[in-house]
Amino acid sequence: MKNTKELLARYGLNASKSLGQNFLCDGDALESIVNSADIDEKPVLEIGPGLGELTVALAKRASCVVAVEIDQRMTEVLRDRLAPYPNTEVIYADFLRVKLDEIYARLGERPFHVVANLPYYITTPISTRLVTSPLPIEGMCLMVQAEAAERFSAPPRARVYGHLSVMTQARYNVETVLRLSPSSYYPRPDVDSAVITLKSRGRVLPNNLDGLVRAAFAGRRKTLVNTLSSAGYDKSDIAAALSQLNIREDVRAEAICVEEFMLLANALKK
């Protein structure tokens, strides 16, 4: 593993706090991440390659790596480091704005995996975009802040249970595979991190699930009947669906489990 401080100095770079640049500098953690990612001979999307440390490790095992980096200052270091790996490609763009179909085309329009040490400031929007994408993502290995990791696997009634938890668990089995202290990064973040894996359950989701779950959690304190009717669902249809599922009519979104959300979405399909 290259020395992060030396690399930054050699290319005249400094870590940008506003872009969430905490570079992984722990060789053992890097190895466990690549092992947990289960990417041998598979196409991989990496978000935020930064100085390319993880990208190089992925390129050695994956069939190809398409990496999306917002920071154009990384062009030179990434070009030099990835030169020996013709199976890599870097797209300089904001992942939240990039067209996912374009990435899919570059990955050969095959089921693919996602690996990322996510920038902390946009963990939720990036993860939400990934778990709600209709593209065939077979698995993900994500490094996130420890507290953010809880949101992916939170059960009903937990403080952090919400749209991301439901949409993740509907489609993936979630596991926390590693916890990392701030000393695994340069510069050190303020909090611990965790590596989580998401493995596809191979299920087809009701196409109204995302919108329904989003609407349900739009008012955490309101009853589901109220939040869903504000989103355009008919009150009597909601009441009928709840009664069919033996769920009380005054229920709130936080008490509904993933399977119940799936059933509700099917029952309320227009």
- Residue from 263, 138, 107, 264 nearest 202 by CA: 138
Q: Which residues bind ligand SAM (CB under 6 A)?
A: 19-24, 47-50, 53-54, 68-71, 94-96, 117, 119, 122
Between 35 and 208, name the residue whose CB sits nearer to ligand SAM. Answer: 35
Nearest CB to ligand SAM, comparing residues 70 and 107: 70
How far is C-alpha 244 from the geometric centre of its chain's CA atoms? 34
Angle CA(113)–CA(168)–CA(60) in degrees, nearest 5? 15
State the minimum distance, in angstroms, from the CB of residue 60 to ligand SAM: 15
- Shortest reach from residue 28's CB to ligand SAM, in Å: 14
CB of 57 to ligand SAM, least distance (A): 10
Taking CB atoms, the residue at the shortest distance from ligand SAM is: 48
23/261 with CB nearer ligand SAM = 23
Q: H or E stretch including 200?
A: strand 193-200
133 vs 226 by CB, closer to ligand SAM: 133
In angstroms, the CA 37 to CA 140 distance is 7
As measured in angstroms, the least distance from the Cβ of 172 to ligand SAM is: 21
99 contacts: CB under 8 Å, gap ≥ 6: none
CB of 23 to ligand SAM, least distance (A): 4
What are 153's two structure tokens?
């696997």
Asked if residue 187 has a cis previous peptide bond (ω within 30° of 0), the answer is yes
103 vs 264 by CB, closer to ligand SAM: 103
* Beta carbon of residue 85, minimum distance to ligand SAM (angstroms, whole number): 15
Q: Where are the alpha helices (DSSP H) in the chain?
A: 4-10, 27-37, 53-59, 75-82, 100-106, 123-131, 146-153, 163-171, 209-216, 224-230, 235-244, 258-267
Using DSSP, state whether 172 is helix, strand or coil.
strand
Say if residues 18 and 70 touch (Cβ distance below 8 Å).
no
Q: Nearest approach, Cβ of 211 to ligand SAM (angstroms)?
A: 24
Closer Cβ to ligand SAM, 21 or 165, answer by number: 21
Give the residue with the Cβ less far from ligand SAM, 194 or 264: 194
